[in-house]
Amino acid sequence: MIPVTGMTDRQVAVLGLGRSGLSAARALQAGGAHPVCWDDNPAARATAEAEGFSCRDLTEGGAFDEVAALIVSPGIPHLYPTPNPVVAAALRAGVPVDNDIGLFFRSFATGDWDNFDTAPRVIAVTGSNGKSTTAALIHHILTDVGRPAQLAGNIGRGVLDIDPAIDGEVVVLELSSYQTELARSLTPDIAVFTNLSPDHLDRHAGIGGYFAAKRRLFAEGGPDRAIVGVDEIEGQFLAGQLSEGAADDRVIRVSVSQKLDGPGWQVFARKGFLAEYRKGRQAGSIDLRQITGLPGAHNHQNACAAYAACRALGLAPRVIEQALRSYPGLPHRSQIIAVAEGVTYVNDSKATNVDSAAKALSAFSRIRWICGGLEKEGGLAQLNAASDAVAKAYVIGREAANFAMQLDVETEICTTMAEAVARAMADAEPGDTVLLAPAAASFDQYDNFEQRGEDFTAEVRARLAG
C-alpha cells in the first residue's frame, strides 16, 4: 500500500466505493487522514462500513463543511454530461476534487529513496487503444531482464495498492482518460501516448475534450521523456507541443503507418519490421512478424511504444527483442485461445470500439467475424473500410439486426454468443480465423468485456471438446 501523504488528521471525502474508492480510503487512513465515504449503492456502503469506515450522505447540506478534499472514483462524471450531485456540491463549497491517481503521484516518493542507488521511475501509458497491451508489454520486458517492476492503474492492481518502491524499481501504469482528466498531480518520468480515436465522447463532451483529458498526462507534470504515436493529427500536435525542435530527443515519435526520418528519435514499424532511428542513424531493428503474442499492425504499434519506453530506460535493443519473443499476450486482446483443424480462434473482446475492431480485422486473413453489442457513437463506416478479409459476420447483441444492416459484408444475425460460435465454427474452413472483435460495448448482454470474452472462450472450447 502507498499511504497518502499531506492529509494527516484531515477529513477527506471518498465518493464511489468500488476497487479504487476502497483502495483510496485505506491509503488515506494509512496516511493518518479520516476518510468519510459515500456510494449510492447500499451494498457498497455496507462493505465499507464492515471495514470500519464512516459513511455519510455527501449530498446533504453542510456535508463538506470540514472536508479537505473529495476523492472521486473514475466512473463518476465530474463535468460532462452532467456532474454527479456530490461532485457539484464539493465544487460549490470550494473543496478540491481529486482521484486516486493524483493521490498516488503526490505520495509515491518517500525519504527512503535518499538511500537508493537508483531512484524508482514511473512510466504512465495512455491512449485510445493498445494502452493495456503496451503497459503489460513494458512490464514483461522489465521483468524478463530482471528489473524490479510493478504493473498497476487501469490494469493489474490499483495504484494505491502497490508496494512501496524498492531500489531501481519501475512502476508501469495504464491510465484511462477517466483517470487522467481529474488527477491533480500527474508526474510520470516517462509518458506514453499510443493513439487517439473517438471513445467516451459523452463523458468528455466530444473528441476535443477526450484529447484534452489524455494530453493532461504530458502537460501537467512534464515527463523527462514523452513517447508519442504520431499516426493521427492529435499525436502530431502533441509531439510538436512537447518538442523544442526536430532534434529534441526528449520526444520519441512512434508510427506504424509511415517511415519516420529527421534528426530526432523515432521508432516505427513497416511490413512487420521495427526500426529505431536516432540522430539520423539506425540504432536497432526487430522482425516482429513471428512474435505470436503480437499479431497485426496494431500490436506492432504497441511493440514500438514499449520498445521506446524501455530504450528510454537504457535497455539494449537485443535485450528488448529477446523479451518481446516471450510475451504471451493479454487475455481478451488478440488472444489465440485455440487452433484446431486448421482454424484459429481469437478472443479480442477488448475491441469495444470501431477503431480497435478495425485494427483486429487487419491482423488476420479470411475471418469469420463475431461482432455486435451496445453500439457507440460514430457509426460503422470505418469497419467496412477494413473488412476485406471478412468472409462472413455473425452478429450478436440485442440490436443485432440494426448492427448487421450497417455492414458491407455477408452477415448472419445470431443474437447470442452460443449461436454465433456454433454458426462460425460450422462454416469455418482450414486457414480461417474465427475472431471475436465486437466493435461495441458489452453492457447489453454482459457485465463487462471480460465476461463476454470468457463466454466466447468457453463456447469454443466446449464445442472443440465435444
The binding site for ATP comprises: 127-133
| Other beta carbons within 10 Å of 419 | 16
CA distance 234 to 211: 7
* CB of 426 closer than 8 Å to CB of 414: no
- State how far the Cα of 339 lies from the Cα of 295, in Å rounded to an integer: 15
Burial class (CB in 10 A: 0-12, 13-18, 19+), 244: exposed
Question: What b-and-e string marks burial along 64-80, b requiring 16 or more CB atoms within 10 Å of the CB?
Answer: beebbbbbbbbebebbe
- Look up cell 521483468; give the residue: 143
Provide the grid cell at 422: 456454433
**Using CA atoms, how far apart are residues 323 and 138, in angstroms rounded to an integer?**
10
Interatomic CA distance for residues 238 and 235, integer angstroms: 5
Binding residues: 127-133
Closest CA to 431 of 363, 340, 348: 340
